[in-house]
Amino acid sequence: MEPAREAEEEEIDVIWDENGTARYRILKDNRIVDFDGHNLAWLDEQGNVIDYDGRHMAFYENGIMRDPEGSVVGLGKDPIGPHPVLPNKGLIPQAIKAAAAPKKSKPQKVLKKPQASLLWSRKMLEEL
């Protein structure tokens, strides 16, 4: 895989975990990818995070990614709304060009948006 030359031009947000590690990129085409270029999920118009098998995994709104219980999976560049404190955001690593987008499966079931929590989720996006 080759490094993404214009990574900043193709992403709309970077998501950091509770340790301040940059974990995910949200691209302009609404794909969520990791820094190794793997496609993990996609965002629908309402901010639902759907994997490519059609499972509703999480919610993304105002720079905050939340699990189905409302706990925070990660924080973006400029999160707005209730969220835990992230004392330090680590450096953004060099991103590998994202693989071609897989075919999106129709969401099997869209979950009800939970109430926002100030707690960190116990799981990362890949575990949801």
Residue pLDDT, tens place only, 75-117: 999 999 999 999 899 999 999 999 998 999 888 888 999 999 9
125 DSSP assignment = G
Q: Specify which residues 90 forms β-bridges with.
A: none
Q: Specify which residues 59 forms β-bridges with.
A: 48, 66
Contacts of 3 (CB under 8 A, 6+ apart): 94, 95, 96, 97
| DSSP-H helix ranges across the chain | 7-10
In a domain, 117, yes or no: no
**Spatial contact of 115 and 19, defined as CB atoms under 8 Å apart:** no
In a domain, 28, yes or no: yes
Q: How confident is the model at residue 9 (pLDDT cuts 50, 70, 90)?
A: low
d(Cα 29, Cα 99) in Å, to the nearest integer?
A: 13
In a domain, 123, yes or no: no
pLDDT tens digits for range 52-73: 999 999 999 999 999 999 999 9
Q: Note the pTM of the prediction, 2 decimals.
A: 0.89
For strand 56-61 and strand 48-50, is the pairing parallel, antiparallel, or unpaired?
A: antiparallel
In a domain, 66, yes or no: yes
Q: Specify which residues 15 forms β-bridges with.
A: 24
Contacts of 112 (CB under 8 A, 6+ apart): none
- Domain encompassing residue 49: 7-109
Domain count, the chain: 1
In a domain, 116, yes or no: no
In a domain, 53, yes or no: yes
In a domain, 122, yes or no: no
